[in-house]
Amino acid sequence: DWAQKVSAVAKKVYQVLQMKGFSRSEYIFVNGEPHLLEVNTVPGLTEQSLLPQQAEKAGIRLEELFDNAIQEALK
C-alpha cells in the first residue's frame, strides 16, 4: 500500500538526515515506488497547512503536539 511505502521511506530519510522535530516531505511515485523530492524543516502552521490538519485527523490537539515537541527538544 502506498501509505506504508511513503512512511517507510520518510522514516529512513528522517534518520539518515538526523532530523528532529517537525518536517514536511514531498514525494513522487515512479513505477510504484516513492522518491523524495524535498524536505521542509519549517512546515506551515496555518489552518490550511498540512501539519495542523494531520494532527487533527490523528486526534491530537496542537497544544499537545507542541508540548510533545518541546519535551523531545529538552531531552
Task: State the chain's mean pLDDT as an integer.
Answer: 92
Q: Is the pTM of this model over 0.85?
A: no
Q: Which residue has the higher pLDDT, 8 or 47?
A: 8
40 conformational bin, left if phi > 0, alpha if psi -120 to 50, beta if neither:
beta
Q: What is the number of other CB atoms lying within 10 angstroms of the CB of residue 61?
A: 10
d(CA 9, CA 53): 21
Whether 75 has a pLDDT exceeding 90, the answer reads no
Classify the C-alpha dihedral 48-51-18-68 as positive or negative.
positive
For residue 39, give the 3-state DSSP assignment: strand
Instruction: Categorize the per-residue pLDDT at 55 as very low, low, confident or very high, splitting at 50, 70 and 90.
Output: very high
Q: What angle do CA 52, 67, 54 make, to 5 degrees?
A: 20
Whether 31 has a pLDDT exceeding 90, the answer reads yes
Domain boundaries in the chain? 1-43, 44-75
